[in-house]
């Protein structure tokens, strides 16, 4: 899976550089996020700008990351969801669970506030 990352103001941003986040590749994202929290990072932002398609496994990987954040007293937020990806969060009520921001800039600012 193609993941890129950068750190901005103590926030680790993971860019999912894939068109699809599905049962084929979601385990890798899950492991990458898990490792960040295990390594002591507190603030993780997953940017889904390039993701055009997400399935239940992709949603599950993000839920797993969110639960990991809680268990490590950290935070996991999401940014830059395409409209159809966002509709899957709404369908599964996960938009009530995740903090979702239109851009990485707005998300990073929210981590600071």
* Contact residues for other proteins, defined by CB under 8 A: 20, 22-24, 53, 55-57, 59-61, 63-64, 66-67, 84, 88, 91-93, 97
Q: State in angstroms the smallest separation of the CB of 45 from other proteins.
A: 19
Four-residue CA torsion sign, 35, 94, 50, 109: negative
Q: Cβ closer to other proteins: 98 or 101? A: 98
| Residue 14 burial by Cβ neighbours in a 10 Å radius (0-12, 13-18, 19+) | buried
* Nearer residue to other proteins within complex by CB, 22 or 50: 22
Residue closer to other proteins (CB basis): 31 or 53: 53
Closest to other proteins by CB, 11 or 61: 61
Distance between CA atoms of 110 and 77, rounded to whole angstroms?
10
CA atoms in the 13 A half-sphere facing the CB of 8: 16
Q: What is the nearest approach in angstroms of other proteins to the Cβ of residue 89?
A: 11
5 — phi, psi (to 5°)? -145, 155
Shortest distance, position 63 Cβ to other proteins, whole Å: 5
Q: Nearest distance from residue 42's CB to other proteins, in Å?
A: 20
Measured distance between the N- and C-terminal CA atoms of the chain, rounded to whole angstroms: 32
């Amino acid at each position: 899976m193609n993941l890129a990352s950068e750190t901005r103001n103590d926030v680790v941003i993971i860019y999912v550089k894939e068109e699809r986040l599905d049962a084929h590749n979601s385990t890798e994202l899950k492991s990458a996020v898990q490792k960040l929290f295990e390594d002591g990072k507190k603030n993780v932002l997953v940017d889904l700008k390039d993701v055009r398609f997400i399935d239940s496994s992709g949603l599950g990987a993000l839920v797993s990351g969110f639960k990991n954040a809680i268990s490590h007293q950290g935070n996991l937020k999401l940014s830059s969801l395409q409209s159809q990806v966002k509709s899957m969060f709404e369908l599964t009520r996960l938009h009530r669970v995740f903090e979702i921001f239109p851009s990485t800039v707005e998300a990073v600012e929210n981590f600071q506030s």
